[in-house]
Structure 1
Amino acid sequence: MIALLRFLLMGFVVLTVVYVSVSLYSRAMRRQKLRRHWDEKIGTGDRDAFVRKGLALYDRSLRRRLILGVYIIPMIVVGTIVYIVNYT
Structure 2
Amino acid sequence: MLALLRLLAICFVALTVVYVALSLWSRGVRRRRLERDWDEARGPGDRDTFVAEGLRTYDHSLRRKLILGVYLLPLCLIGLIVYLTNFH
TM range (shorter): over 0.9
1:60 and 2:60 are equivalent in the alignment = yes
After TM superposition, give the deviation of residue 15 of structure 1 in Å.
0.2
In the superposition, the TM-score normalised over structure 1's length comes to 0.97
Between the aligned partners of 2:43 and 2:54, the Cα distance in structure 1 is 15
Paired residue total: 88
After TM superposition, give the deviation of residue 42 of structure 1 in Å.
2.5
Between the aligned partners of 1:10 and 1:66, the Cα distance in structure 2 is 22
Q: Which runs of 5+ in 1 are unaligned?
A: none
Farther off after superposition, 13-22 or 35-44: 35-44
Between the aligned partners of 1:34 and 1:10, the Cα distance in structure 2 is 36
After TM superposition, give the deviation of residue 45 of structure 1 in Å.
2.5
Q: Which secondary structure does the structure 1 equivalent of 2:10 belong to?
A: helix
After TM superposition, give the deviation of residue 44 of structure 1 in Å.
5.0
Give the counterpart letter for 2:26 in structure 1: S
1:38 matched to which residue of 2?
A: 38
Q: Which secondary structure does the structure 2 equivalent of 1:39 belong to?
A: helix
- 1:1-88 aligned at under 5 Å gives the runs 1-43=1-43, 45-88=45-88
Q: Which runs of 5+ in 2 are unaligned?
A: none
Q: Runs of 4 or more off by more than 3 Å in structure 1?
A: none
Between the aligned partners of 2:71 and 2:60, the Cα distance in structure 1 is 19
Q: Which secondary structure does the structure 1 equivalent of 2:45 belong to?
A: coil
